[in-house]
Amino acid sequence: MTDDRWDADPDLGPVVVSEKALAERVAELGTELTADYEGRPPLLVGVLKGAFVFMSDLARAIRQPVEIDVMAVASYGSATTTSGVVRIVKDLDSDLTDRHVLVVEDIVDSGLTLSYIRRNLLARQPASVEICALLVKEGRQRARIDLKYVGFHIPPDFVVGYGLDVAERYRNVPDVRVYRGPVPVD
């Protein structure tokens, strides 16, 4: 089922992942993570801003205590393609030493940002670091990343909704849709 309000927006294209499919897959991931982290509560590290909706739903789907922290990195600016240069804009508040860390990411495009984040977190001596990505764009990865948990593999279109944006817009769309509007320039 789609939302007519968003269907009328000329900058939004077809639904790539429906609201229903998102809810079902997040519930499945929550069940899997509950089992995999039994007896060792994870620290969920959300990558802002795009992962905040996914992380919120995922945290509620995990049926054991979790802790949450966030970090913000920049590699896109307001453009629709990564610059390839990653910088930490907001670092974690938590000490990762001997912690089981689960990085929660909205979308994996080139993989460069996530590769950088993983290396950065591993240097902080955690017990483990795993990655849970909601979306992985097919055929776009330039860096090899071990993704233990993946929501959906999608075509390489630029997408918005469910936390993903273009120039800070469309994060509140309840499903994931192709963006076909004007491309912002940095």
Catalogue the active-site residues: 109
Check residue 90 and give left, alpha or beta (phi > 0: left; psi -120 to 50: alpha): beta
Order of all β-strands in the sheet with 12-17: 12-17, 176-179, 159-160
Residue 179, SS3?
A: strand
Alpha-helical segments (H) within 37-174: 52-61, 112-122
Angle, CA 69 vertex, CA 145 and CA 44 arms, to 5°: 50
The closest alpha carbon to 75, from 47, 45, 46, 103, belongs to 47
